[in-house]
Structure 1
Amino acid sequence: MNQLISFIKKEFYHITRDIRTLFMLLMMPIAQLMIFGFAITTEINNTSVVVLDNSKTIESAQLIAQVNASKYFNLKGYLTKQEEIQNFFRLGKTKLAIVIPQEFGRDIYHSGKTEIQLIADASDPNEATTIVNYIQQIIAQYQQQSINQDGNSSYVIKSQVKMLYNPQLKSSYNFVPGIMGLVFMLICTMMTSVSIVKEKEEGTMEILLVSPLKPISIILAKVVPYFLISIIDVFSILILSVYVLEVPIAGNLFLLFFLCTIFILSTLSLGLLISSVTQTQQAAMIISSMGLLLPTLLLSGLIFPVENMPIILRIISNILPAYWFISAVKDVMIKGLGFFSIWKECLILVGMTIFLLTISVRMFKNRL
């Protein structure tokens, strides 16, 4: 019994001496609980909405006030003409537009029925469906309250729903950009970090370091093959998306390739950084998979809207290159927007690439 206790103590000493292992054992469950607890939700809160009120009556004002009072919606402003709706959607300033007809108030009391138009951004079909359901519930509540006040039981408000960018509500429109981000994260970040750490474990890195090659040449030799493979994957994903999944490329194809190239370089730089701070393939795999793939899957906006997450998780999502990439790919591929609509995302990805690559190269040189 004493021998067993001694061996148990020995294992505890091994665990507590390895700070990184102990940190992962204690902090990883907490991190996963926080991410899954707050990120995995189907609720839509504080959705940006704009209103085109052609009626400008007391009835329309009451309906708008009820929408704005809901926790689900945040009124961003009033429009003056129909053409402004498209611009708000293209700039990503709104998820929903409510168009109230000029005869709204008159039809309510004369014919007993009227209709309003709901225009939603359906690039994410699940989110668009939820938003439309919420707004229709609010309209139904407004209708019921008006019935109770004036006693008119034939009071009816119909909703004319229009889904922009994805009228058929195909889920592939949303998942193709996200899958692109996950694939590149897997190939570039994980495989690059593991391949370099493998050289350290097998002892061949010392041979490379004493060779006439400069450190930057060694890094390029490791990075270029995965970069070329990723470019081939870009072609494969886009071809399958268009001809198999029937997801059209509405924007400029060269701009889409440019965006993919920037993201690939950023993920390669991230893989180099991981290889610089790890000594074993196992550690590199854990950091790449648990530390990057899981947050990318949950916090990049691929499955759950980032806008509905707590402020801490939103800050973490802004650090992830995949968040900016997926957002920009949707704008180019699904919405057909140009460079001036995604220049911010491109600039952030370029900045991340330069920052990560600079740190990786400097840390690699320190190991000479």
Structure 2
Amino acid sequence: MKQFFAFVKKEFYHILRDRRTMLIVLGIPIVEIILFGFAISTEVKNVRVTILDPSKDVATQRIVSHFGANRYFTVVGNATTAEDIEKGFQSNSIDLGIVFPERFNETLLHTGKADVQVIADGTDPNTATTATNYATSVITAASQELLAEQTGGGAVSPVIVPTVKLLYNPQMEGSYNFVPGVMGLILILICAMMTAISIVREKERGTMEVLLVSPMKPIWIILAKTVPYFTLSCVNLITILLLSVFVLHVPVAGSLFWLTALSMLFIFVALSLGMLISTLAKTQMAAMLISGMGLMMPVMLLSGMMFPVENMPGILRLLSNFVPAKWYIMAVRKIMIEGVSPLFALQEFIVLGIMAVVLVTISLKLFKYRLE
């Protein structure tokens, strides 16, 4: 038994000295419980609301005050025309629009009925349904208060009727939501994994040293290894788009040219990320784990692919800004689903471009041109 405990002690020493193993064994469970605990939520929080209220009477102000007091909504401004609301959706500055007709209170008093239009972005059917349900309940509660005051506190049925309008996806097709997310997940995982494993394979076999002593500059050798994978990724992109349009029936509502340009930029970012991973990993297995498991969870949870980023705590919303797939998915939804001008996706283009430059620069700085 003494020898047995000696071997156990030796194994403990080996594990404790291996910082990467300790990080995987003890660090990943902590990260997972925090991410899954805070990121996975069916609630819809921080819904940004804009109000179009041409009448500005007692009834409309009462309903608006209810939205302002509700913890799920944040009134971000007032629109003057319906076009302002549409532009707000296109620029991703609002999540919900409330439209009152003219002479709202007068119509309510004379006819006993008035309509309120609730406009939501249908590209994410689950979020849109939940947000409109919340908004409908707020309007119903405010209408019951108004009618109770007008009838002396009697119990009456609500006569302010909310009507829901879903933009970009009135049929509530689920594929409109998950296709952009799946595109981002597939491209970043495949591109990063292929590039990282390819470069690390050369290191393991010892052939990288032979390549680095060739007349070609090392930077061109590294970039040349990414060109075939860039080409294969473009083929994957074409396949994904064809399946999305002809099998899943998700139309390309915007410019196909700018959608392709955006996707190629994202592919380059993913390949650059693979280059960075190759500088950190020493074996193909490590490169596969980092590029596969290490990227899958952040992309699925922090990119807005499955759960709205707005529902998460502030620290997770901040971390989500460093996930390239978040910006790609946002831009694909704007161009492919909403069909808006590429100018509304200019921020996403700029962020992805900066990420590409930063990742390539760091990768080249960390890459060891003289391998041990």
TM-score for both structures, normalised by structure 2? 0.95
Question: Could you report, residue by residue, the CA deviation over 1:224-264 in whole angstroms, capped at 9, with x for unpaired residues?
Answer: 11100110111111111111111111111111111001101
Secondary structure, aligned partner of 1:319 = coil
| Aligned pairs for 1:271-282 within 5 A | 271-282=274-285
Aligned residue among 178, 194, 197 for 2:197: 194
* 1:270 paired residue number: 273
Shift of 1:363: 2.2
Question: Could you report, residue by residue, the CA deviation over 1:129-157 in whole angstroms, capped at 9, with x for unpaired residues?
Answer: 11001101111222333344332614422
**1: CA distance between counterparts of 2:287 and 2:158?**
64
**1: CA distance between counterparts of 2:360 and 2:370?**
16
Does the CA-based 8 Å contact 2:140-2:158 persist in structure 1? no
**2: CA distance between counterparts of 1:125 and 1:61?**
29
Aligned residue among 311, 315, 322 for 1:312: 315
Question: Could you report, residue by residue, the CA deviation over 1:67-119 in whole angstroms, capped at 9, with x for unpaired residues?
Answer: 11111111011112222221211111111111111242123333322211111
Which is further off, 70-79 or 356-365?
356-365
Aligned residue type for 1:25: V
* 1:51 paired residue number: 51
| Aligned pairs for 1:93-104 within 5 A | 93-104=93-104
Shift of 1:194: 1.2
Shift of 1:366: 4.1
Does the CA-based 8 Å contact 1:112-1:154 persist in structure 2? no
Aligned residue among 241, 259, 265 for 1:238: 241
* 1:162 paired residue number: 165
* 1:131 paired residue number: 131
Does the CA-based 8 Å contact 2:144-2:157 persist in structure 1? no
Shift of 1:26: 1.1
Aligned residue type for 1:337: V
* 2:32 paired residue number: 32
Aligned residue type for 2:112: G
User: How many percent identity over aligned positions?
Assistant: 51
Question: Could you report, residue by residue, the CA deviation over 1:298-352 in whole angstroms, capped at 9, with x for unpaired residues?
Answer: 1000111111111111111100111111111111111112222111111111111
Q: Which runs of 4+ in 1 moved over 6 A?
A: none
TM-score for both structures, normalised by structure 1? 0.96
Question: Could you report, residue by residue, the CA deviation over 1:147-168 in whole angstroms, capped at 9, with x for unpaired residues?
Answer: 4433261442212111000111
Aligned residue type for 1:341: F
Corresponding position: 1:92 with 2:92: yes
For these two proteins, the number of residue pairs brought into alignment is 368
Aligned residue type for 1:194: I
**1: CA distance between counterparts of 2:313 and 2:33?**
14
Secondary structure, aligned partner of 1:115 = strand
* 2:8 paired residue number: 8
**2: CA distance between counterparts of 1:219 and 1:350?**
19
* 1:225 paired residue number: 228
List gaps (5 residues or longer) in structure 2.
Answer: none
| Aligned pairs for 1:241-260 within 5 A | 241-260=244-263
| Aligned pairs for 1:277-316 within 5 A | 277-316=280-319
Does the CA-based 8 Å contact 2:107-2:113 persist in structure 1? yes
Does the CA-based 8 Å contact 1:189-1:267 persist in structure 2? yes
Secondary structure, aligned partner of 1:211 = coil
Secondary structure, aligned partner of 2:116 = strand
Does the CA-based 8 Å contact 1:113-1:154 persist in structure 2? no
Shift of 1:197: 1.1
Aligned residue among 172, 182, 186 for 1:183: 186
Does the CA-based 8 Å contact 1:272-1:357 persist in structure 2? yes
When the two chains are superposed, the root-mean-square deviation of aligned CA atoms in Å is 1.5
Q: Relative to structure 1, is the Cα distance of residues 313 and 154 closer, same or farther in structure 2, using a 3 angstrom cutoff?
A: closer
* 1:212 paired residue number: 215
List gaps (5 residues or longer) in structure 1.
Answer: none
**2: CA distance between counterparts of 1:367 and 1:298?**
38
Shift of 1:269: 0.5
**1: CA distance between counterparts of 2:309 and 2:13?**
41
Q: Relative to structure 1, is the Cα distance of residues 202 and 35 closer, same or farther in structure 2, using a 3 angstrom cutoff?
A: same
**1: CA distance between counterparts of 2:205 and 2:14?**
24
**2: CA distance between counterparts of 1:365 and 1:346?**
31
Aligned residue type for 1:41: S
**1: CA distance between counterparts of 2:78 and 2:294?**
42
**1: CA distance between counterparts of 2:297 and 2:352?**
20
* 1:76 paired residue number: 76
**1: CA distance between counterparts of 2:147 and 2:268?**
60
Aligned residue type for 2:63: L
